Structure 1
Amino acid sequence: MSPISPTPHGQSPLRTVQVLGGGNAGSSAHVRSLAAGLVARGVRVTVCAPAEADHAYGFTATGADHAHVPRSSDPASVAALRAACTDADLVHAHGLHASFRAVLALSGRTTPLVVTWHNHAYAEGARAHLVRLLERRVVKAAAVVLGTSSDLVDRARRTGARDARLAAVGLPGRRPVPGAEEPERPRPKLRAELGSTGRPLLVAVGSLDRHRGYDVLLDAARAWRRLVPPPLLVVAGEGPLRAPLQGRVEREELPVRLVGRRDDVGELLAAADLALLPGGREARSVLAQEALHARVPLVAVDTPGIRELVGDAAELVREADAAALAAAVVRLLGDPARRGELRDNAARQAATWPTEDETVAQVLSVYDELTQPRPLV
């Protein structure tokens, strides 16, 4: 970790407000990591997020303050955010809806706004038009837009951002070393608990909501259930699609278990033969990063953000193509040499990703640009 920058005599420490909406796993983990790094460098940090997000991710445990701000954009929520941003030197919002709330809260103020886009905002019909309006409003108000993938940066520029940059976003955790001994696998006890003794174990992780590709995943499961023995697919996560997905599993007698939200995702991945990512909403998918860190062969949907993230360390398949997903799983299960190649590629690819320290350093350099007084010419 780089040393804490000394505060000039008579100058108060930099105060930043980090604004988070509901927060998916990636953006929430990033904000926690960022808060910890900033506090360690002498920056005062307030995280504005729903109370449940603080309970889940422990922002205050990093030394940051927490202000409960509901994820809605109603006047009361905007007023709470505006109060939290009083006397802030800079506000940093994460995600489109959190960014829009920050724009509303900072109306009439000169506080610099930094925005990070972590994923693509999906919408259809009239809502798609609303999303485009929100994006334009946000990028015009932001001093800097950070995108977690090149296509998000391009989108911000096309939308009118005056300054859009590729963000360094390090996933909290140890960086794997190419050539290091592979983690011990499988985990017989956990596999037995899940019901995968003597059969391949496939793992998918993520909230059970639209655009995650779980319908496609269950379609693919129909194909590989004919294998002997049929692999078991374990899906970790909760969300509004839990009931309809469970109904499909039971009606079609699919070799699938929905195990709900888990706090042992790392252990699940370490026990798995393959990790599956059927949807590409997140530009820097947490599952993809964790799978590569754990050197678990990954089959993922082919989107620009995922392709940029994983390089040649995953089998990529067309989006919404259940047949291609099923075929890739079957092919990999029957090809141990290819699985070994993907594990080696995973270690090399993950070693190229930014560390948490590098992530904080980039963000601090942006903050310095926007808050340090410029010399007179």
Structure 2
Amino acid sequence: MRVVEVLGASTGGIGRHVADLAPRLVALGHEVTVLCPPATAAAHDLAGLDGGPPRRLARLRGVDLVHAHGYKAGAAALPWTRLRGIPLVVTWHNAVLAGGAAGRVGRALQALVARGADLTLGASSDLVAVARAAGARHAALGPVAAPRLAAPAVPRDRYRDDLGLGPDDVLVATVGRLAPQKNLGLVLDVAARLADRPDVTFVVAGGGPLHDVLADRVAREGTRVRLLGAVDDVASLLAAADLMLLTSTWEARALVAQEALLAGLPLVSTRVGGIEELVGTAAVLVPSDDADAAADAVRSLVDDPARRSALAAAGAVQAAGWPDEDQVARDLAATYADLVAARAAGHSTRSRPGT
């Protein structure tokens, strides 16, 4: 079967998901081409599968199925797949969070793609519900696989020494793009509420458009928050940290939440999107707009190493139940085969979900 994976600009989780998926589909005997912008191809190891930007889809021949990642990629693929009579799978990885005209355009595209795709997969249950409300013919949960963590390159003690931390200090880590969805002002709110705790240090790893705004506020308030910029070796940061803080206004299946639990790092997160179904009771969840609740949760865990250890153990159990990349690839390959067979038989079918 010849499969085309289509995605837009992504230097993060979506691109990583496709980069993990494509070679596994090849190993299962399928011919796979990945169409994405040059920056996306450069950010991920596509193992020679890069077929150029999405507009090249119209030049391809002998394609059996197209899988678009994101409703914008789905909208780009929809006209060609309909013209050619080729099954289209679209995975929704993100919600439409914008208001105003941008939000209306986004929701209109969602509805167009939901009604046109043979199968819509949502990375979280709330996305599946939105797809069904928008008119999806078939929609199912298709979570992204749990990542495989690299081994830390820097020992915990040395990493902490480089940050100027003592053996009894508590390091609270946040990892994410410095963008509005990540709500990183909440990290600074929490740090301000723990100003009486000189043994607690916060670090934020990631780059993005809000760097200067956050840096100015840190300097003005004098909180113990360090902006590390983009960090390639996230595994070493996780190994050095004592607690992970996730403050997003929305996430589907947050990569950093998965990494935290896989690394045995206790997690405090906002209860948004698909976070609760991802982590279950293996994390402390707080309302997205409640800085006091987030600060109380962090303070409680700072003062209770035994509870941190219990959460870490619960996280390992929770993570053991997540599908890995191989399982996701096998399930998607079976889904693709169902859709291609149904199209060949001249009718649609309720295909199995991605997992």
**CA offsets 1:32-74 (integer angstroms, 9 cap, x no match):** 1110210111111111112222222101x2xx521332xxxxx
2:112 aligned residue (121, 128, 137): 137
Quick one: structure 1 residues 186 and 273, their matched pair in 2 at CA, closer, same or farther if it must change by over 3 Å?
farther
Could you tell me how far apart the structure 2 residues matched to 1:364 and 1:39 are? 10
Say whether 1:44 aligns with 2:14.
no
Shift of 1:104: 4.3
- Report the counterpart of residue 311 of structure 2 in structure 1: 342
- Report the counterpart of residue 188 of structure 1 in structure 2: 157
- Report the counterpart of residue 328 of structure 2 in structure 1: 359
Shift of 1:334: 0.2
One-letter code aligned to 1:315? V
Question: How many residues are treated as equivalent by the alignment?
Answer: 343
Matches within 5 A, 1:204-223: 204-223=174-193
Quick one: structure 1 residues 376 and 241, their matched pair in 2 at CA, closer, same or farther if it must change by over 3 Å?
closer
Matches within 5 A, 1:212-251: 212-229=182-199, 231-251=200-220
Matches within 5 A, 1:71-110: 79-83=55-59, 85-106=60-81, 108-110=83-85
1:148 aligned residue (101, 120, 123): 123
Matches within 5 A, 1:301-316: 301-316=270-285
- Report the counterpart of residue 66 of structure 1 in structure 2: 50
One-letter code aligned to 1:26? G
Could you tell me how far apart the structure 2 residues matched to 1:376 and 1:336 are? 60
Shift of 1:105: 4.5
Could you tell me how far apart the structure 1 residues matched to 2:33 and 2:13 are? 19
2:16 aligned residue (3, 19, 29): 29
Q: Is the 8 A contact 1:96 1:121 kept in 2?
A: no
Shift of 1:376: 9.3
**CA offsets 1:102-137 (integer angstroms, 9 cap, x no match):** 224445221211001112221112222111101001
Q: Is the 8 A contact 2:68 2:90 kept in 1?
A: yes
One-letter code aligned to 1:32? A
Say whether 1:57 aligns with 2:41.
no
Quick one: structure 1 residues 88 and 338, their matched pair in 2 at CA, closer, same or farther if it must change by over 3 Å?
same
Could you tell me how far apart the structure 1 residues matched to 2:345 and 2:42 are? 43
Q: Percent identity among equivalent residues?
A: 43
Quick one: structure 1 residues 304 and 209, their matched pair in 2 at CA, closer, same or farther if it must change by over 3 Å?
closer
Q: Please give the TM-score of this superposition, normalised by the length of structure 2.
A: 0.91
Q: Is the 8 A contact 2:176 2:205 kept in 1?
A: yes
**CA offsets 1:261-285 (integer angstroms, 9 cap, x no match):** 1111111011101001000433100
Q: Is the 8 A contact 1:168 1:358 kept in 2?
A: no
Could you tell me how far apart the structure 2 residues matched to 1:325 and 1:248 are? 19
- Report the counterpart of residue 338 of structure 2 in structure 1: 369
One-letter code aligned to 1:94? H
One-letter code aligned to 1:25? G
Could you tell me how far apart the structure 1 residues matched to 2:79 and 2:177 are? 29
Quick one: structure 1 residues 318 and 88, their matched pair in 2 at CA, closer, same or farther if it must change by over 3 Å?
same
Q: Which runs of 5+ in 1 are unaligned?
A: 1-13, 70-77, 176-182
Could you tell me how far apart the structure 2 residues matched to 1:301 and 1:86 are? 46
- Report the counterpart of residue 291 of structure 1 in structure 2: 260
Shift of 1:324: 1.2
Q: Is the 8 A contact 2:11 2:44 kept in 1?
A: no
Q: Is the 8 A contact 1:275 1:296 kept in 2?
A: yes
Q: In terms of mean alpha carbon deviation, does 315-324 or 120-129 score higher?
A: 120-129
**CA offsets 1:298-349 (integer angstroms, 9 cap, x no match):** 0000024000000011000001211111111111000112111101110110
